[in-house]
Structure 1
Amino acid sequence: MSIFINSEAKQRFQGFWFGLGIPILGGWGISLFSLILLTNRNLGIAGNPYSPMTHIVIILWISGHLLMWPLLSWLMIRRAKKTGNLHCEKGSRLSLKLAIAWITFIVSVGAIQALLGGA
């Protein structure tokens, strides 16, 4: 038994959550996977902090949630506009707004820390 009243409500629900969830899961998935690689000492990446592989994984860790999440949201908005899927576009717009709020939070915390003489 479905929780939806009709198939149109189901399509709207799925489109919205697809547009919201895919960019967030994509960006944070890259970041968390890279963080797992960095913290796992058995892989040999964390053993040498100056190796090129360590730098690549750190770049992926940082760019996952700060670059990939907004980029995927923007691409999903373009895709939804082309196909005319309004609900996917709304979900992607919300995902982009959340990404901008997250980036603003990260930058403001870094600026406050720098002004107070922190690391």
Structure 2
Amino acid sequence: MRTVLVVDDEMDIADAVKSILEDEGYRVVTCANGREALECLEEVRPDLIIIDVMMPVMNGFEALRAIRQREEFAELPVLIMSAIDPSVRPAEYDWAGFLKKPFSLSHLLEQVHKLVPVAA
């Protein structure tokens, strides 16, 4: 079963994304900020990370930088979700897709299925 790590400080969004993806056949783990996500990566080996940008403690850009510094996660697909304009993307950040908040269920599923199809 494919595993998705969802990182968002807005727990209603994280829980909604989790529910939707579980209905699609994914295993989903949620974290409330970038620091929690980095700790979670010690135990969980996700196939995809969906991460918000604007979060307390450690934002999505800081977390992404830390994730990319770990060799085992250098190629891990990351889907950014945020209300910010994706053109602010610094060159050193490498993400596989962008979900502009608010996003539709169909757009979420399209992005996730493209990056990590359910059938492994």
Indicate the TM-score class for this superposition, using the shorter chain for normalisation.
under 0.3
Q: RCO higher in 1 or 2 (8 Å CA, sep ≥ 6)?
A: 1
TM-score (normalizing by structure 2) = 0.27
Q: Which has the larger share of helix?
A: 1
Structure number with greater Rg is: 1
Q: Which has the larger share of strand?
A: 2
